[in-house]
Structure 1
Amino acid sequence: MTSSRPMTSSHEDQALARTAVDALVGQIALLPKPGLPDPRDLGAGAGLRDHRTLRWSAAALEPGLAAMASAARRAGAPTPRLRAELGAIGRSIERTVARAGGGHRGALWALGHLVAAAALEPDARAADVVALTRSLAAHPDRGAPRRPSRGSSVSVTFGAAGARGEARAGFPHVRRALVALAGARDAGATEPQARLDALLTVMSTLQDTELLYTAGPFGLRQVQAEARGVLESGGTATDAGAAALVALDSSLHARGWSPRGSAGLLAGALFADALPLRARRTPCGGFRSVPR
């Protein structure tokens, strides 16, 4: 049972939540994202509502994420009680986001764990914050609905790690995305190109339950191989890699396949990449997100 005390958020908690939402919006705004909603949808009637709704509903996560950060800061350690409180807050956020248009369930799972971990260790490096999520996810969420979700059912059917497995392993694909971001930047890629390379890095190995559900194991392996092909062509900063990305995007849209799990983990990586926030104080004593 969670605490009945009002969840007041400090400037630090609000800053973490704002940074998480900025990361999610940054992922949504990235283009061209293969098989995923992006700003190109604004010029096409079919995708108009999806992209705009995703941007609108992303803002609905902020109060709940701030509450997660506040709960973690009060707890001071990744305890079973904190895990239960985070689960209860997460389900409340899902209802709020549904009223705002829906979406972001995978991103919420990653960002919720990461925001809580960042609140527990405010000055930690990105890699250490991501690793701390393993301790949070190790505890069962005893308040979770007994009815399995589609993602968990697919995980059981195909033996995939799924969202829970990613969290319990300390989000290995968030860590891989962070390495890819740094490597692409060091190689001279623009920020959008670095982020696309990070997304493709996740896609190349993630057992994405959304793809398993819509495309099956063979389709998943095909998408993974084509994502690796973009990277092996030199990444999105090269002409060959950019052409391979266009081909992958066309292929996914033609089949109706969407690597949504990879998109959510990229949002988690962009949040972790923005940490720590201690150097971002404003003159009034609050915090602000600093774009790259």
Structure 2
Amino acid sequence: MSAFIAARLRPSLAERLADLAVQALIDEADLSPKPALVDRRGSGAHRDLDLRLMHASARALWPAFHAMADAGQSLAELGQPLRETIGRLGREGEARMLAVTGGVNTHRGAIWALGLLVTAAALEPVQAAPQQVSLRAARLARLEDRQMPAQAPSHGERVRQRYGVRGAREEARCGFPGALQHGLPQLRRSRAAGFDENHAQLDALLAIMAQLEDTCVLHRAGLEGLASMQHGARAVLQAGGSATLAGRRCLKALEHDLLALNASPGGAADLLAATLFLDRLEPMLGAPIGSL
């Protein structure tokens, strides 16, 4: 193979970041058994979602993530023009997602979270530690999108106003503490304890659920659902995690309680995808281009 052909076959930084974001969404969807969420077993608490649709939605978002990463590289400055560019690209990505899913909201929250992280990673790829990327994403999220069209408040925004919780936008503006302070440390603790990757990722999800004020759960089941999610997730971790017999019993009880309340922790799922993205980012960028 000639050097010219080899160079053309090497993925660009934007392509690699988009690949990583989409793979994080697919891996989050595939992870099983997740309490009351779509996974390999079924649709959880959802009647309009299944694994096939989640995969199709994730793949449909690749062009948006690629364009956001490309914008981060080309504009190369954390400021208002970049914020408004990725806001527009995110809305275009959401429209593409809804076209693919027939109007079902599969990944709206993930577009926001992963879009910011992809852009932040592209801005300074040599500074790819989770804390560095999250801080840049937070600074970007705090900027106003003056081009955002007027629209009716989302379910998440109405829940945020009703209950006084942080919500997805404030989570981003704070630097994704659910992922950075809870999901990622638990993922690595569980790996260090010798648990396989599936159980480590489940434990990371549970660590996020144990503390997150999940607006998806609040929308569906109010404060009762939120308390059930948080207490149940803590019980699994306190029992030794999802890899232990006691932990699996607690996980089954948690799922039973959430299904009874029709509560699905979609916000926690989005932050798990962000956790997986951050966990894999630095090793990926440290690899030679074209080696993946």
Change beyond 3 A, Cα 1:172–1:135: same
Q: Please give the residue correspondences for 1:46-57 in structure 2 after superposition, counting only pairs within 5 Å.
A: 50-57=50-57
* Structure 2: distance between partners of 1:212 and 1:49: 19
Do structure 1's residue 116 and structure 2's residue 119 form an aligned pair? yes
- Assess if the C-alpha contact under 8 Å between 1:12 and 1:287 holds in 2: no
Q: Please give the residue correspondences for 1:74-85 in structure 2 after superposition, counting only pairs within 5 Å.
A: 74-85=74-85
Give, as a single letter, the amino acid of the residue that structure 2 aligns with 1:165: E
Do structure 1's residue 19 and structure 2's residue 23 form an aligned pair? no
Change beyond 3 A, Cα 1:228–1:49: closer
Give % identity.
42
* Structure 1: distance between partners of 2:291 and 2:161: 42
Aligned match of 1:207: 213
Instruction: Return the offset for 1:138.
Output: 1.2
Aligned match of 1:142: 146
- Assess if the C-alpha contact under 8 Å between 2:228 and 2:257 holds in 1: no
* Structure 1: distance between partners of 2:100 and 2:192: 39
- Assess if the C-alpha contact under 8 Å between 1:60 and 1:100 holds in 2: yes
Partner of 2:281, secondary structure, is coil
Aligned match of 2:287: 280
Change beyond 3 A, Cα 1:153–1:48: closer
* Structure 2: distance between partners of 1:51 and 1:13: 26
Instruction: Return the offset for 1:49.
Output: 5.6
* Structure 2: distance between partners of 1:247 and 1:126: 33
Partner of 1:41, secondary structure, is coil
Instruction: Return the offset for 1:267.
Output: 0.3
Instruction: Return the offset for 1:146.
Output: 2.3
Partner of 2:41, secondary structure, is helix
- Assess if the C-alpha contact under 8 Å between 1:106 and 1:264 holds in 2: yes
- Assess if the C-alpha contact under 8 Å between 1:41 and 1:48 holds in 2: no
Aligned match of 2:259: 253
Instruction: Return the offset for 1:141.
Output: 1.3
Give, as a single letter, the amino acid of the residue that structure 1 aligns with 2:87: G
**What is the TM-score with the length of structure 1 in the denominator?**
0.89
- Assess if the C-alpha contact under 8 Å between 2:233 and 2:254 holds in 1: yes
Do structure 1's residue 129 and structure 2's residue 167 form an aligned pair? no
Give, as a single letter, the amino acid of the residue that structure 1 aligns with 2:23: D
- Assess if the C-alpha contact under 8 Å between 1:130 and 1:174 holds in 2: no
* Structure 2: distance between partners of 1:48 and 1:72: 34
**What is the TM-score with the length of structure 2 in the denominator?**
0.89
**Length, aligned pairs only:** 274
Give CA deviations for 1:75-134 in whole Å, capped at 9, x if unaligned: 212201111011000000000001111411111111001100110121221222122211
Aligned match of 1:226: 232
Change beyond 3 A, Cα 1:63–1:287: farther
Instruction: Return the offset for 1:226.
Output: 0.8
Give CA deviations for 1:25-46 in whole Å, capped at 9, x if unaligned: 000000000010001128x9x9
Regions of 4+ moved over 6 Å:
none
Aligned match of 1:6: none
Give, as a single letter, the amino acid of the residue that structure 2 aligns with 1:99: A
* Structure 2: distance between partners of 1:53 and 1:120: 31
Aligned match of 2:35: 34
Change beyond 3 A, Cα 1:47–1:209: closer
Unaligned runs of 5+ in 2: 1-10
Change beyond 3 A, Cα 1:233–1:184: same
